[in-house]
Amino acid sequence: MEKTTNLNNKASLKRDGGAKNKPSKGLRKKINVRLSKLKFEEKIVEVKRVTKVVKGGKKITFRVVVIIGDKKNRVGVGVGRAEDVNLAIDKAILSGKKNLVTIPLTRSYSIPHVIYSSMGSTSIMLRPAGQGTGVIAGGSIRTVLELGGVRNILAKQIGSSNILNNAKTTILALKLLNDKIELSKYQSVRQQSFYEKIMKKYKNVRISN
């Protein structure tokens, strides 16, 4: 009798342990929903056909430039090259997701101060603007700022009008802007209080004296 009871207990423990280890169907559905919320908007800015002269003749490939962002404070630029257009678009989206930049937005959905940046023969200037101004920019600069969540800004393009270079220069300007803000917080009390007043992320935080 004791042997039979022990065997029954072991069988029940195995059943319970298997039920605990296996996730239920409801949990799987919840995880899938959470992952599906992490979506970005993509805009194809340029599709270019590139020909390369090789020994047997000409080799044709496609280069695609895609700007990806969540319209909150993250944006990135991706470039993809392949013999098929669809494959090049997929590569560009993947490279854009790997190189995302966070934009420091103010309460009026603008940038905190003026920033200049240059890359090669392209240089741009970004200037903050008040509520209701809109995105005053052109070309790929406008697309980068809109997908990054900026609603009020003034931008000026100087030099080359290359689509890819302008997009990369805008990303570089946003990186420099983020670095300057992080450094200036620790330089003086005056600058720290200024950014606490102007930045969006300190809007609902109470500062204790």
The encoded tokens of residue 122 equal: 């392209």
The whole-number pLDDT of residue 121 equals 87
pLDDT of the chain along its 209 residues, tens only? 444 455 455 555 445 544 445 554 544 444 443 434 557 889 999 999 999 898 888 999 999 999 999 888 899 999 999 999 999 999 999 999 988 998 888 888 999 889 999 988 899 999 999 888 999 998 899 999 999 999 999 999 988 888 999 999 999 999 988 887 777 767 777 777 777 777 765 444 443 33
The CATH number of the domain covering residues in 41-101:
3.30.160.20
User: Whose CA is closest to 139, among 169, 110, 119?
Assistant: 169
Question: HSE (CB half, 13 Å, CA atoms) of 74?
Answer: 11
Query: 104-201: which CATH architecture?
Result: 2-Layer Sandwich (3.30)
Query: Residue for token digits 């390369």?
Result: 52
Tell me the pTM.
0.71
Domain locations in the chain as residue ranges: 41-101, 104-201
DSSP string, 52-91: EEETTEEEEEEEEEEEEE-SSSEEEEEEEEESSHHHHHHH
